[in-house]
Amino acid sequence: MNFSIIKDDNRAGVRACELETARSIIKTPVFMPVATRGAIRALSNLDIESIGFEIILSNTYHIFMRPGPDVILKAGGLHKFMNYEKSLLTDSGGFQVFSLSSLCKVKEDGVEFNSHLDGSRHFFTPEKVLDIQKIIGSDIMMVLDQCTGYPIEKKDAETAMETTISWAKKSKFHYDNTFDKDRQGCFAIIQGSFFNDLRRECAERLIELDFTGYAIGGLSVGEPKEIFRDITENLLPHLPKDKPRYMMGVGSPLEILFAVKHGVDMFDCVMPTRIARNGTLYTSTGRINIKSAKYETDFSPLDENCPCYVCKNFSRAYLRHIFKAGEITSLIYNTYHNLYFMKQFMDEIRESIIDGRFNEIERKWYDIYS
């Protein structure tokens, strides 16, 4: 796996890079659609291909629960199982373990939890989580971490941070001695909740372990936007410039712009697809609630500035009609458009960085989405 900086504005953190895996070259800043269970809801792989994504995200916890690693192993990995050829990043499942399962119990060597599907008891160690991702065939693997919610007492955040670092050390040792580093990269996850000193300490101690890349976890868990921005602004200067930086679970245009401005390279979030299924669509002039009665006889395109299949072929009135009628097609068209928007949005940001126009593009989108 290779990472190179194409354009770096030394006056600020903003940068355009390339991350090359064994399967594709990923131009950053990049948004990664979420295929939690090995599929992006309402879309086919052909749709994802036509939009132009070079990387998507799946989840170790959910793949482990269903269909299970034995099925994935027999299939020859998740790429073959879902017939997907480009790069695949898998989250460790730590967030899901702590947010979905009941009777979750953290131990020194891992975490014990109940399945959200059938209540069966399981135990994840840092090593086991990587072994599952080895079976999956992930191009980029995430280590097991302890994610905390908001709000939280500092002593509890510090305990979770220490657990995260301890598990990261075990993960790195296992990765160094068991994995083909040319085929699979491994990212550490920086925790510390909304405490800047804990975040900085966590980052510094993880950087010493020399992972392939570094992710910022534990944001977008209910904290005010001011805290998200404060953590982002204060943490990014402490991350190595020669490694990819991934902000987990962030997908709104303005939050992405703020994070890119401070040097984040990679993003993922279910929000663009989730709100699409609920009738909220991103456009070049702002958000549109396609359920609104004002679109009943609006025969203009969803977005006149968007060249996607949906905008070129269907009116707002038609999109409203099929949504109100409960047609599955509505979910497909809405999801396709929102992901197309995200791809074009990220491409425009990247081009503006390379051309030295980022501040101009930042102002444009802030005016539209503020």
Catalytic residue among 91, 139, 265, 303: 91
* Cα gap 64→115, rounded to integer Å: 10
- The encoded tokens of residue 197 equal 């000193």
* Cα gap 157→184, rounded to integer Å: 30
- Check whether the bond before 224 is cis (ω within 30° of 0): no
Catalytic residue among 139, 265, 268, 303: 268
Q: Do 190 and 202 meet the contact criterion of CB atoms below 8 Å apart?
A: yes
Which residue, 168, 162, 186, 173, is CA-closest to 91?
186
Q: Which residue(s) pair with 17 in the sheet? A: 5, 28
H/E element, 111: strand 110-114
Name 101's Cβ contacts closer than 8 Å, sequence gap at least 6: 113, 114, 115, 116
The helix-helix angle for 154-178 and 126-136 (nearest 10°) equals: 50
Residue 210 is a catalytic residue: no
DSSP 3-state of 303:
coil
CA dihedral 203, 207, 211, 212 (to 10 degrees): 80
**Residue 326 DSSP code:** T
* Cα gap 337→347, rounded to integer Å: 15
Give the residue ranges of DSSP H helices in the chain: 45-51, 60-65, 69-75, 78-82, 94-100, 126-136, 154-178, 196-207, 225-235, 253-261, 271-277, 309-313, 316-324, 328-355, 358-369
Residue 347 is a catalytic residue: no
Which residue, 144, 158, 146, 148, is CA-closest to 187?
144
Residue 115 Ramachandran class (φ > 0 left, ψ -120 to 50 alpha, else beta): beta
Mind telling me the catalytic residues? Answer: 91, 268
